[in-house]
Amino acid sequence: MTTKIDLPSTSSSCPPFRKLTYDVFLSFRGTDTRTNFTDHLYAALKQKGIYTFRDDEELNRGESIGPNLLEAIEESRYVIVVFSQNYADSSWCLDELAKVAECRRAMGQTVLPVFYHVDPSDVRRQTGEHFGKAFQEHQERFGGNPDKLQRWKDSLAEIGNLSGWHLKDGYESKFIQEIVEKIFTELNQIIPIYEGLVGMDSHLNEMLSYLDIGCPDVRIIGICGMGGIGKTTIAQVVFERVQAQFEGCSFLENVREVTEKQGAVHLQKQLLSDLLECSVNVQNTKKGKSIMRERLRTKMVLIILDDVDQEKQLEALCDRESFGPGSRIIITTRDKHLLVEGDKVYTVNRLTDDEALELFRMKAFKKDQLVREDFLELSEEFLKYANGLPLAIKVLGSSIRGRSVKLWSSALKRLEKNPPKGIIDVLKVSFDGLEKSEKKIFLDIACFFKGGYIDHVTRILHGSDC
């Protein structure tokens, strides 16, 4: 069985001046675990995109470890120490561990011990059949260097007393998954995945409450709003934050566009490939749905279906019964009607005035730039045009960045006659998706009733059989 050991730890976050080259450094006894447990752990970390240092050299080592290895320890955010039965036999491993303990104390390095078929108390106290015997031999060999021996003992006591995992007789794959999930989740929390995204904290908190990860039912969550409002960005941030908590994940971007160009079968293949991590042959959508139901019904997965605009896309990709307990499907769409079968719908609103100004300043001005009063006055005019739409604010701000007041004024005058193509292309998708009669009503309102009262316009349109 595997047992999680929770003991006090004094490690802290690394000082800002510390150079970090690796996410993880693996310390292990090569003859014990190089080709089995440590190799599988290394592969799992690598598969998650976690940059890991593993010493692959089988060398006739001397009494001290080389400078490259010392440097790798110093430049790693995490150190995983795999205490195996013969770990303490190696003076090389013990020197490595002493360096790890030193870095932990001096730089706040996070150290995670793994007790691989050894008793944690034997590690801490250097007792038992393996660690006790090893130190008897070291005493004979290094008795003339008591400082070295004491440094090794202190390091084993310190690292052996940290929170870690104890593998006794359980499944190693599950054990490795726990370790990787912990590191992956923590790395995602410290990486600024939404740096520069205004108002993202509130979006993320709301979505996390809707997802309620850990609840065993399969949930479908919708993110709804007009084009350019930020639906896809919110989905991306949520995906990065929570994906490590699932057995498989898939982010299908631009479902509408991909369906038009390549068909729903292409998306089914991609979904199955992402979740099963292998190529899957799908002849048609019916076959794809059958494969999903058979292969994914016990798997807890996270799926993002981005920019859905037709019910048939959901029929091909979003059968609730096809996924295992605890699975979560997030759908972004402009059409709230498509989310009637969902459990929750998060409607994305326009930015507040303060948020809009913050985003515009980020795009239109250089960092820490002193902004003159005339620029601020023109900024307000641009923001009136953008009306809280993040896409419009980004496009407008970027287009005038670094330009003179005169060019800002000129750009402002051109807006009503010639809006930026980047904005028109996104908004036009919504218009193209309307029925013929709906397009007619839209154009009538845009051309003849702009600024009119809703009740008055509604009566006129009803009177004309629209």
DSSP state of 278: S
The reply to whether 180 and 294 lie within a common domain is: no
d(CA 178, CA 41): 10
d(CA 105, CA 110): 10
Q: Please indicate, yes or no, if residue 429 is contained in any of the structural domains.
A: no
- Angle between helix axes 390-399 and 405-415 (nearest 10 degrees) is 140
The reply to whether 289 and 372 lie within a common domain is: no
The reply to whether 130 and 151 lie within a common domain is: yes
Q: Please indicate, yes or no, if residue 131 is contained in any of the structural domains.
A: yes
Q: Please indicate, yes or no, if residue 361 is contained in any of the structural domains.
A: yes
Residue with tokens 């930020």: 230
| Average pLDDT, consecutive stretches of 10 residues, N- to C-terminus, the chain (466 residues) | 42 46 93 94 92 71 68 93 94 93 89 95 93 91 86 95 88 91 83 69 90 92 92 92 86 95 95 91 93 93 95 94 95 93 93 90 81 84 87 87 86 78 65 66 71 75 66
The reply to whether 211 and 269 lie within a common domain is: yes
Is residue 24 within 8 A of residue 183, CB to CB? The reply is yes
Residues constituting the chain = 466
Domain end call among 319, 347, 375 = 347
Cα dihedral value 283, 284, 286, 289, nearest 10? 70
Query: Rounded to the nearest 5 degrees, what angle is found at the Cα of 19, between the Cα atoms of 17 and 25?
Result: 135
The reply to whether 223 and 267 lie within a common domain is: yes
DSSP state of 81: E
d(CA 79, CA 103): 10
Is residue 369 within 8 A of residue 344, CB to CB? The reply is no
d(CA 423, CA 237): 23
Centre a 10 Å sphere on the Cβ of residue 155 and count the other Cβ atoms it contains: 21
Is residue 55 within 8 A of residue 69, CB to CB? The reply is yes
Is residue 54 within 8 A of residue 37, CB to CB? The reply is no
> What is the CATH number for 255?
3.40.50.300
> What is the CATH number for 46?
3.40.50.10140
Q: Please indicate, yes or no, if residue 391 is contained in any of the structural domains.
A: yes
Q: What is the DSSP string of 408-460?
A: HHHHHHHHTTS--HHHHHHHHHHHHTS-HHHHHHHHHHHHH-TT--HHHHHHH
Q: Give the pLDDT confidence score for residue 59 in this predicted structure.
A: 42
The reply to whether 227 and 340 lie within a common domain is: yes
Domain end call among 131, 161, 186 = 186
The reply to whether 96 and 175 lie within a common domain is: yes
In degrees and rounded to multiples of 5, residue 252 shows phi and psi of -95, 105
Strand 76-83 vs strand 110-116: parallel, antiparallel, or unpaired? Answer: parallel
The reply to whether 333 and 403 lie within a common domain is: no
Q: Give the pLDDT confidence score for residue 465 in this predicted structure.
A: 61
Q: Please indicate, yes or no, if residue 332 is contained in any of the structural domains.
A: yes
Count of structural domains within the chain: 4
Centre a 10 Å sphere on the Cβ of residue 454 and count the other Cβ atoms it contains: 9
Q: Please indicate, yes or no, if residue 324 is contained in any of the structural domains.
A: yes
3-state SS, residue 36 = coil
Catalytically active residues are 96
The reply to whether 199 and 317 lie within a common domain is: yes
Instruction: Of 327, 328, 331, give the one whose Cα is nearest residue 315.
Output: 331
Q: What is the DSSP string of 145-193?
A: -HHHHHHHHHHHHHHHTSSEEEESSS-HHHHHHHHHHHHHHHHHHHS-T
d(CA 340, CA 309): 13
The predicted model scores a pTM of: 0.63
Token pair for 176: 């490795």
The reply to whether 227 and 329 lie within a common domain is: yes
Distances (CA, A) of 336 to 230, 311, 340, 343: 15, 11, 7, 13
Which residues form the domain of 218? 193-347
d(CA 466, CA 456): 14
Q: Give the pLDDT confidence score for residue 58 in this predicted structure.
A: 43
Strand 52-53 vs strand 22-27: parallel, antiparallel, or unpaired? Answer: parallel
3-state SS, residue 350 = coil
Is residue 111 within 8 A of residue 105, CB to CB? The reply is no
The reply to whether 181 and 205 lie within a common domain is: no
* Ranges of H-type helices in 277-352: 285-296, 311-317
The reply to whether 151 and 202 lie within a common domain is: no
In degrees and rounded to multiples of 5, residue 280 shows phi and psi of -125, 130
Domain end call among 126, 159, 186 = 186
